[in-house]
Amino acid sequence: MIHVIYMAAGNSRRFGSNKLLYLYEGKPLYRHGLELLLKLKQEMGEKLTVTVVTQYAEILEEVQDIFERCGMAGMQAVFCEESRLGASYTIRAGIEAVISQDPVSGQPKERQSMIGEKDYLMFMVADQPHLSLDSVRKLIRAAVSREQSAFSGPLAEECSRWETLSLRCGSTPGNPCMFRADLIPELMSLTGDQGGRKVLKRHYCQYVDILDERELEDVDEMLQVTENLGEK
């Protein structure tokens, strides 16, 4: 099972406030990734859960309304005021929410944790509007094929080492990233503005290559490029 934690909680130095509500190509920025996840959820059903973490009441209400109208179990939105203190708080809130919710019924569980040892956590950020559904599918297929690998010999040994996965374009890695469930304690130990890539760098990572570098760009990066062009 894949548990997606959608991080719709960050601040922005350029926007100075909630960039996630900024209208980008006709819709709030965070909706691009959310709509991608809704399509993925329709395809994967009970094999995928979606948890949205946000520090913004407006986004929380909108997402809860969208999930209610969709009527699919295994989707939830949680509020994390501490996200303003750094990414680690968003990561921790997302994991705690996944642990405390039954992935099929969507109802709170009395005991932790229904996360299986072969499950993966996927962290996806909400300011990456050009990320494609095909690239996310490709990343998930790589994780699933690793667990179902029929390889033997050196190749099987190499596959068994992959504890994390990440998209990459050329030599540039980017989000989303995936982590095997046994790395949850390390993710939970992150502090301040430390992100999941700090954990990823400690472990064997399978990079999944894509061709379009725009998919990995966030809005801050796109604004920087625009400003640089304007200065020329």
Residue 75 pLDDT greater than 50, yes or no: yes
Span 223-230, average pLDDT:
46
**How would residue 227 be classed by pLDDT, with cut points 50, 70 and 90?**
very low
The pTM assigned to this predicted structure is 0.87
Give the CATH number for residue 30: 3.90.550.10
Domain that holds residue 56: 2-231
Q: 20 is written with which tokens? A: 């996630």
16 Cβ neighbours under 8 A, 6+ residues apart: none
Residue 101 pLDDT greater than 90, yes or no: no
Q: 54 is written with which tokens? A: 């946000």
Per-residue pLDDT of 165-195, as tens digits, reads 999 999 999 999 999 999 999 999 999 999 9
* Alpha carbons 25 and 35: distance in angstroms, whole number: 14
What's the structural domain count of the chain? 1
- What b-and-e string marks burial along 51-81, b requiring 16 or more CB atoms within 10 Å of the CB? bbbbbbeebbebbbebbeeeeebbbbbbbbe
pLDDT of 155: 43
Higher pLDDT pick, 95 / 152: 95
Residue 144 pLDDT greater than 90, yes or no: no
pLDDT of 111: 42
Q: 210 is written with which tokens? A: 């894509």
C-alpha gyration radius of the chain: 17
* Alpha carbons 165 and 176: distance in angstroms, whole number: 9
Per-residue pLDDT of 106-132, as tens digits, reads 555 544 456 888 899 999 999 999 999
How many of the other CB atoms lie within 10 Å of CB of 100? 16
Q: Find how far residue 66's CA is from the centre of its chain.
A: 18
Q: Are 84 and 55 in contact (CB under 8 A)?
A: yes
